[in-house]
């Protein structure tokens, strides 16, 4: 009944725009079940359209991709220093991330077990503060030469590339380049360099190094992308399961937050927050003014709409766990009619089928 429809022509359009915008190698970031599009079908479209490197954050997804696309480079962007995890990486010929001396030790030992020299990219911390070597700690990074690992790349992460202040991107970029230069001067081959995520890819050409890491831009779900020609690649599709008639002054939903202002015909649509609809990512990553904007927005009633029979239908009352109620007073709609909803696929439940059209 509920499906997230991925429009292949729009996805391919976005892939082609990204490829045309850079001379760098594009690394497709498809973590979290392909940003909600479905890991394998999304990867298939990418590889069929010229993308040679796929990147994820979890070992399970890396192994799944390597089994499905054995000739494609799979980059795991999380640093692991645990024996079992490193053995999975080495056994499946996945490109690892080395973000500590312990991770290098564990990866080398895993390589010995499987009689292979593991490949890895070195992670440099330039401000994200999650994993990786501090960009000033050159001697510690140079000590990685002691381990029998093929270091085929070096990368960092931007923590604030969506900032309007370009220095928030240029300063960590400069720190990364200075670190790489110091390593090279000491005879350390750093391999392919990359730091750009989708925001930096669009807004900071200087961050296009040997490679660029692109994720949300493929989906057309990044600020400013529409002006370049990107398109949102999908929508949530449901249907009306029943209709109802409510008199003026009737309550709708929990909390008695909505009362009808007129006699109203409603449609019941079986999509709710249990499916991930009308939820959002955490707000703790934004600037103070963004937080203030969110608070002010929450204090006033916001209207949200779906599309029914080609017309806008307002969602009435609070979103329920398994349904929403829509106003179809002026729409000739009936049970079984399709409902089109806008939703971020990465937040949608895996119980909702992904269908490529």
276 in a domain, yes or no? Answer: yes
Final residue of a structural domain among 165, 198, 221: 221
- Asked if residue 192 belongs to a domain, the reply is yes
Q: Are residues 216 and 276 in the same domain?
A: no
Asked whether 110 and 86 are in contact (CB, 8 A), the reply is yes
Handedness of CA 247, 249, 251, 257 (dihedral sign): positive
Summarised one tens digit per residue, pLDDT across range 220-253 is 988 776 678 999 999 999 999 999 999 999 999 9
The pLDDT of 39-67, averaged and rounded, is: 98
Q: What does DSSP assign to residue 259?
A: B
Answer yes or no: is 356 within a domain: no
Cα–Cα distance for residue pair 357/351, rounded to 1 Å:
19
CATH number at residue 145: 3.20.20.10
> Number of H helices and number of E strands within the chain?
11, 18
- Are 207 and 273 contained in the same domain? no
**Confidence (pLDDT) at 141:** 98
Say if residue 201 is in the same domain as residue 285: no
**Nearest of 79, 60, 75, 62 to residue 26 by alpha carbon:** 75
The domain boundary residue, chosen from 162, 187, 221:
221
Residue-range definition of the domain harbouring residue 317 = 235-341
Q: Are residues 214 and 302 in the same domain?
A: no
Q: Are residues 95 and 210 in the same domain?
A: yes
**Counting beta carbons within 10 angstroms of the beta carbon of residue 167, is it exposed (0 to 12), middle (13 to 18) or buried (19 or more)?**
exposed
Query: Which of 4-13, 297-306, 325-334 comes out lowest in average pLDDT?
Result: 297-306
Please tell me the total count of domains within the chain.
2
Residues 169 and 43 in one domain: yes
For residue 282, give the CATH number of its domain: 2.40.37.10
| Residue 163 sits in the same domain as residue 56 | yes
Residue 227 lies in a domain: no
195 and 253 both lie in a single domain:
no
Question: Which pTM was predicted?
Answer: 0.91
Return the closest-CA partner of residue 214 out of 33, 12, 8, 14. 14
**Considering the domain boundaries, does residue 167 fall inside one?**
yes
Show the tokens assigned to 349. 């439940």
Give pLDDT tens digits for 182-206.
999 999 999 999 999 999 999 999 9
**Residue 355 counted as domain residue:** no
Domain assignment present for residue 313? The answer is yes
Domain boundary among 189, 221, 253: 221
Same domain assignment for residues 104 and 55: yes
Same domain, 254 and 307: yes
Identify whether 352 is part of a domain.
Answer: no
**Residue 197 shares a structural domain with residue 264:** no
For the ranges 14-23, 110-119, 216-225, 277-286, the lowest mean pLDDT is seen at 277-286
- Residue 111 and residue 199 share a domain: yes
């Amino acid at each position: 009944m509920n499906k997230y429809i991925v429009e292949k022509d729009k996805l391919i359009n976005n892939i082609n725009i990204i490829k045309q915008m850079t001379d760098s190698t594009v690394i497709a970031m498809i973590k979290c079940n392909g940003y909600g599009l479905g890991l394998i079908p999304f990867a298939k479209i990418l590889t069929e359209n010229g993308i040679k490197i796929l990147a994820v954050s979890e070992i399970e997804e890396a192994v799944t991709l390597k089994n499905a696309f054995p000739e494609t480079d799979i980059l795991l962007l999380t640093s692991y220093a645990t024996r079992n995890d490193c053995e999975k990486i080495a056994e499946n010929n996945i490109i690892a991330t080395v973000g500590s001396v312990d991770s290098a030790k564990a990866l080398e030992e895993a390589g010995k077990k499987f009689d292979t020299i593991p490949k890895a990219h070195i992670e440099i911390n330039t401000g994200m503060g999650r994993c990786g070597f501090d960009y000033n700690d050159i001697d510690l990074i140079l000590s990685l030469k002691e381990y029998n690992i093929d270091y085929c790349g070096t990368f960092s992460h931007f923590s604030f590339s969506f900032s309007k202040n370009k220095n928030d991107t240029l300063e960590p970029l400069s720190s990364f380049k200075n670190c790489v230069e110091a390593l090279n001067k000491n005879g350390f081959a750093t391999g392919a360099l990359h730091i750009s995520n989708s925001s930096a890819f669009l807004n900071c050409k200087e961050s296009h190094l040997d490679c660029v890491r692109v994720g949300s831009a493929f989906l057309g779900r990044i600020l400013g992308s529409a002006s370049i020609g990107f398109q949102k690649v999908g929508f949530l599709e449901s249907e009306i399961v029943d209709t109802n008639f409510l008199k003026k002054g009737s309550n709708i939903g929990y909390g008695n937050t909505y009362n009808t202002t007129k006699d109203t015909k409603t449609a019941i649509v079986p999509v709710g927050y249990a499916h991930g609809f009308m939820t959002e990512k955490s707000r703790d990553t934004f600037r103070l003014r963004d937080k203030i904007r969110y608070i002010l927005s929450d204090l006033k009633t916001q209207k949200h709409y779906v599309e029914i029979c080609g017309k806008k239908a307002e969602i009435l009352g609070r979103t329920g766990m398994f349904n929403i109620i829509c106003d179809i007073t002026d729409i000739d709609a009936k049970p079984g009619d399709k409902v089109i909803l806008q939703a971020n696929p990465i937040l949608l439940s895996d119980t909702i089928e992904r269908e490529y059209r």
